Amino acid sequence: MTDSRNKTGSSSGFNRRDFLRGSGAAAAAAAVQTQAAQAMQDSGPAIVRGSQKIALNINGSQHDVTVEPRTTLLDVLRHQLDLTGAKPVSADGSSGASTVLIDGKPATASTILALTAVGKKIQTIESLGGDNPDPVIQAFVKHDAQQCGFCTPGFVIAVRAFLNKNPNATEAQIREGLNGNICRCGTYANIVQAAVAVVKGA
């Protein structure tokens, strides 16, 4: 009887010692995971809550504004600084109407949080106007490259950024380079010709 019970117990492949050993390993693994998660929390970016004041460099001047973590750069430009050239056409930036230059590169202000623009040089369409407007603006007027005008500021900025990088661009390159902007009035032909005129120095 005794031998039979012992054989049955050993054939199951399970005993209290194995159980305790497995439990200890599981507890140790859980402790390691907890410590790792805590370390990641400690080393991660700080969470920003509530309104705070920041300084933005826009068109060569410092501007003190109050923002929340969710405030976009477009909101700041239009509602706090009265720089209404960049337009709120699409929240995802697919229209290109809110295009501005950030450190010389085109970006859609509707998709950028104001907090992330601190310390960068922001340039809006307003900086290209004035008494001596940028050649791109002059070319847009000369070639009638606008109808309703809602997309025009974004296109002007996009053209200026593209030609800064490609001053001798061909018409085909210009068409490809401006494919991130949409004109619902369909004045693409005139916009391209305006850009070509700038390349030619007209």
Task: Please indicate, yes or no, whether residues 165 and 121 belong to a single structural domain of this protein.
Answer: yes
Q: What's the domain count of the chain?
A: 2
Task: Please indicate, yes or no, whether residues 97 and 12 belong to a single structural domain of this protein.
Answer: no
Task: Please indicate, yes or no, whether residues 76 and 111 belong to a single structural domain of this protein.
Answer: yes
Task: Please indicate, yes or no, whether residues 68 and 105 belong to a single structural domain of this protein.
Answer: yes
Residue percentage of the chain with pLDDT more than 70 = 76
For 52-72, the pLDDT digits (tens) are 999 999 999 999 999 999 999
Task: Please indicate, yes or no, whether residues 94 and 13 belong to a single structural domain of this protein.
Answer: no
Overall pTM > 0.75: no
Q: From residue 6, how far is each of 14, 16, 36, 39, 198 by CA, in Å? A: 12, 14, 44, 48, 95
- Ordered DSSP codes for 35-88: HHHHHHHHHSPPPP-S-EEEEEEETTEEEEEEE-TT-BHHHIIIIIS----S--
CATH of the domain at 102: 3.10.20.30
For 151-188, the pLDDT digits (tens) are 999 999 999 999 999 999 999 999 999 988 999 888 99
Task: Please indicate, yes or no, whether residues 30 and 97 belong to a single structural domain of this protein.
Answer: no
Task: Please indicate, yes or no, whether residues 182 and 151 belong to a single structural domain of this protein.
Answer: yes
Task: Please indicate, yes or no, whether residues 196 and 159 belong to a single structural domain of this protein.
Answer: yes
Domain range for 94: 52-200
Distance CA 47, CA 185 (A): 43
Distance CA 150, CA 133 (A): 19
| C-alpha R_g of the chain | 30
